[in-house]
Structure 1
Amino acid sequence: MMQNIGVVGAGTMGTGVAHLFAARGYPVVMVDSSEAALARSRELIERNVTLYPLVDGEQPRLDAREVTRRIVFSTNLRELKDSDFVVENVTEKREIKEALYPQLDSVCPPHCVFGVNTSAISITRLAARTARADRVIGTHFMNPAPLKPLVEVIRGTHTSPETVDRTRALLDGVGRDSIVVNDAAGFVTNRVMMLTVNEAMFLLHEGVADSAADVDRLFRDCFGHRMGPLETADLIGLDTVLLSLEVIYDSLRDSKYRPCPLLARMVDAGWHGVKSGRGFYEYPDAV
């Protein structure tokens, strides 16, 4: 049976997740507090359906209007009242996420699963803000969500085996494989990735490397990476990288996760990477 999907947050990740599910035929309700963000999300999905016509390598080219017709764009959380599965994608600030979950808990039906799309924040901690801790699970989609074949699924302390099974089945239904890991700051992917991109920034900050392009080329040409660490940071969003490093550092108290001063300065300047048009590189076609 086709499930009703809720998506909270119309930023980069929420837009990608809504695109992915709608392109596979699921009815989606996307909620954000900003009408402007929702309008921009609709525009991006229509554009990206054209850019990414093959969501899973098998689908034929899709009609952009047909995909967005499957999505209800709303500023009202109550529109999630019929959701079977909600993917939450709001900003990587713990206090904002913690304030949201009691609201979702009061609106969504009891059977609804909450998928937390986060880079580093504890699934167990967020689940404690609800009356359904067994139905809260981490669903760490990678950017761009319509193209990445694998999702990191995070099992919180109270997440039930049934919730894990439901989540993996849903992801399989949109052509996504999944790997289940346990709840810890940064999980597996960002525990390693954030350390890598942060150290690459320090190498640039300290003058060990002359340019971001030199750092990235070493990783592409020497190790066969598709993208270098600084290109990857731009794609993730430098603001998200900074927030993720701060969460991991606060959780582990390990100095190796101390954010690079260059990163903090760039975020303060509004240089957030691809989504803002400038990061370690410039992106003149950014919407």
Structure 2
Amino acid sequence: MKALIIGLGSVGLKHYNQLRGINSIKKIKVLSKRPKKNFPFIDKKNVKIYDPDYIIISNLTSEHLKTLKEINKLFINKLILVEKPLFHKFYNFNSKRNKIFICYNMRFHPVIDYLKKHVSKKKFDYASISCSTNLKKWRTNIKYYRSNTSKKTGGGALLELSHELDYLEYIFGNYEIKYSVKKKLTKLKIANDDFYHLIGTSKKLKYFDLKVSIFDNKEERLIKLSNENNFIEADILKNKIKFFDGKKIYEKKFQKIDTLKEIHKKIISKKFLNICNLKEGKKILGKIRRFEY
């Protein structure tokens, strides 16, 4: 199988390194505006001749739509993985020419996988979902204020950390946002928001709140679920879940896996179940559009 990576920033490089370790990938080419030494680059005019089987779109989020349209026009019956988020804002793009997926690889995190398999059918009175990270620590090779994230087209806190919106629906089904707060609370040199707080409801969750921030020195990614009989705390970064039934506490730990490599292997082997498709990727952007404006 031949692979093509479009865009070789920090994320594109991660995709490149993962694909190199997959035996079924026999050849990799990279299409980028800024070629680097020791990488197998290809000119845009030669992409059709190369005829890749698997295409990863990992250039600027604001360029995803244009790139996807070009690839979709050029090829048919290809496997395409678009780095999340699908676009920097909602576009009603549709295609039946190729199999298009969005890289919400956290669906394959062992904690998320366990909640999906063993907890998703239960109902809870309250859920607290939080993601705190520090934009300054994301990349070591570039100043944070020069990164795509800091630009207006980069998307801000919620788009950059939209995994939370994806796994919320992946685990608990369709949800409705009742209230939202979007703010820039710090003096970070970015053109976007750095904090989001969403409040909503679903059939499985009577009430939930979701907080996302990109300025915290203490990083965490937590899901807390509670009802009259149970309390569950899922720690995604520490790969463990704590259960409390009112009498005792017990803990389940998980072995760390490379979720990015996992999603590549699933797509390459055409095991598409549980992978975010084009319709689902658009739905996330549609929800953001409704409560953002």
The interval holding the TM-score normalised by the smaller chain is: 0.3 to 0.5
Instruction: Find the structure with the greater CA-based Rg.
Output: 2
Which of the pair has the greater relative contact order for Cα pairs under 8 Å at 6+ separation? 2
